């Protein structure tokens, strides 16, 4: 922590970020295997082909993003009134029972990253929503591992949210939500870029929330 504070991440700045930087740098000291693994992942990211997904970047008003997010989540299987979604700096999901699921997501006015962050958190929410009533208020009402819970969120974010069938259904409503930005991009063109390749452009970042889908998985 002292090293983190020396980097300028004091209590009123970003202590967690400072600790993360120190942790990542210290990881390089763990041994040859760690250095090789980190180097291989970074190399894969550097060599990955890039896809022109410029139409996903522009002016996307957050209020319309939120309306679209709520429209999608409402169709994923959670009972009406059992969930809510609110904006935050870093998306997360928490629940107080299987019928009190609270999702958060991040709306950035210059891209549509919120679509996939919302689906990710909805995956966590669906896991919580699916826990049996008989298990509530017992230790069995939680995921047996973070890995299992994360597998559900990434299933919805990547296997569903970046799939062609998903966008055959949702691209029309997305165009209606953002006609100025997407009205001139037909599904035939968008499916080459939106589903699934444009959203798998590799971008390395220490924070998972800023990394691309592929590089986040490599972590």
Residue 86 φ/ψ, nearest 5 degrees: -135, 160
**Is residue 121 among the annotated active site residues?**
yes
**186 CB neighbour count, 10 Å cutoff:** 11
Q: Is 101 helix (H, G, I), strand (E, B) or coil?
A: strand
Contact 117, 73 (CB under 8 A): no
Please choose, from the candidates 100, 69, 111, 110, the residue with its C-alpha nearest in 3D space to the C-alpha of residue 87.
Answer: 69
Kindly calculate the radius of gyration of the chain based on its CA atoms and give it in whole angstroms: 19
Please choose, from the candidates 134, 104, 126, 130, the residue with its C-alpha nearest in 3D space to the C-alpha of residue 117.
Answer: 104
Contact 65, 112 (CB under 8 A): yes
**Chain centroid to CA 146:** 15
- DSSP string for residues in 124-173: HHHHHHTS-GGGTTSGGGS-S-HHHHHHHHHIIIIIITTSHHHHHHHHHH
DSSP 57: B
Active-site position among 79, 121, 176, 180:
121
Contact 103, 86 (CB under 8 A): yes
Active-site residues, by number, are 121
């Amino acid at each position: 922590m002292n090293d983190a504070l020396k980097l300028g991440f004091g209590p009123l700045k970003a202590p967690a970020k400072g600790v993360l930087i120190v942790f990542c740098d210290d990881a390089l000291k763990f041994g040859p295997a760690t250095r090789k693994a980190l180097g291989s992942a970074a190399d894969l990211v550097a060599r990955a082909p890039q896809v022109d997904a410029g139409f996903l970047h522009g002016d996307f008003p957050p209020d319309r993003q939120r309306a679209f997010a709520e429209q999608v989540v409402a169709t994923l299987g959670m009972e009406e009134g059992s969930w809510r979604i609110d904006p935050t700096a870093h998306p997360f999901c928490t629940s107080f029972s299987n019928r009190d699921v609270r999702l958060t997501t991040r709306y950035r006015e210059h891209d549509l990253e919120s679509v996939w962050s919302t689906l990710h958190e909805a995956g966590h929410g669906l896991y919580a929503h699916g826990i049996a009533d008989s298990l509530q208020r017992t230790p069995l009402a939680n995921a047996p591992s973070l890995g299992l819970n994360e597998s559900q969120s990434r299933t919805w974010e990547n296997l569903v949210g970046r799939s062609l069938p998903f966008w055959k259904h949702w691209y029309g409503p997305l165009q209606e939500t953002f006609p100025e930005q997407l009205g001139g991009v037909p599904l035939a063109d968008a499916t080459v870029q939106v589903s699934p390749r444009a959203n798998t452009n590799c971008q390395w970042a220490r924070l998972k929330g800023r990394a691309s889908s592929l590089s986040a998985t490599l972590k």
